[in-house]
Amino acid sequence: MSSFATVLTRLGLDEHSPLLASDIAQDLVDGKRTIAIHDYALPDWCKDVDIAVVEKQGDDAGVIVGVVRFGEDIDYASDDASFMRDAALHGAPENLGRGWVVRAARRCETSTTKLKPKHRDFFEAVADAEGPSFVILHPIYGKIASVAVDHIIKRLPALPVPSGAKKGFLGASVPAVLAACPLNVVKASAVCAEGVFKAADGVETAPISRQDLMRGFLVHSDEDGKPVAKGGPLRLAFPDGVAV
C-alpha cells in the first residue's frame, strides 16, 4: 500500500479508488468547470462515486489535487447547439462528443504518486515500494481496509505508552490508526463491541472490548526511538489494567 493510498483512505476513499488524470484538474476541483469534455462516455463504474483527480507528471506519475463526483453524462456528439449553450460550464474550445457533469468537487491534501493505467484517462495509484500493512478484517466481509506499516511508523504521531510492560515505548494509538482508514471503517469502529489482534505468525489475542481497544497502541520503537528488537515491526501494547 502506498503513501498515496493512505491519503485516499483519509479522504474517505477506498485505497483502490480510480484516479482521473485531467488537464483541467485545478478548475474541476475548484468548481470553475462543472462539465468535463471527453471523447468517450463516462464509464458506469465512475458514476456517482468519489474519484481522485490528478495532474500528470510525465507518463507514470501525478499529483492528487482534489476529489470529484460525476453524475450525468451528456451526449454532445450531434448537438453542437447544447455544447455552445453550456460553454460557460465546460470552457472547452472543441466539442469532443461527451460532457461529464460534476455533481460535487473539493480540494484535498496534495500527494505525488506513481500511476498504473486503468482505462483511458483513469489510473490506479501504485506504491513506490511494496511493504507490510496492518490489515483490518470484518468477521463476515473479510478485508475492509489496510494501512501501510511504513505510514504508521513515519506519519502517525508516535506517543509513549503511559504504563505497563511497554511503558515508554513509542507507537501510534489504535484510534489514530483507525482514523487513517476509509470512513466506513471509522464509523464501524465506533459501534463495534470487540476486536481481535492477529499477528503474521497466526498468534491472536482473546476478544478485547472496544473500550479497551481504543486505549491500545501499535508500538514500533523503544524508549530510545530504536525499532522494537523482537516481534516487530509493530507490537500491540496496553497500559496497566487495560485488556487484562
d(CA 110, CA 98) in angstroms, rounded, equals 28
pTM: 0.58
Which grid cell sits at 171?
A: 507507537
Higher pLDDT: 190 or 170? It is 170
Helix (H) or strand (E) holding 81: helix 80-85
pLDDT confidence of 1, banded at 50, 70, 90?
very low
| pLDDT-wise least confident of 71-75, 119-123, 146-150 | 146-150
Q: Which three cell numbers stand for residue 1?
A: 500500500
- Residues 169, 221 contacting (CB under 8 angstroms): yes
Q: What is the mean pLDDT of residues 18-26?
A: 95
| Nearest alpha carbon to residue 237 among 164, 179, 176, 177 | 164
Query: Which pLDDT does position 62 carry in this prediction?
Result: 87
Residue 4 pLDDT grade (very low, low, confident, very high; cuts 50, 70, 90): low
Helix count and strand count (H, E) for the chain: 8, 14
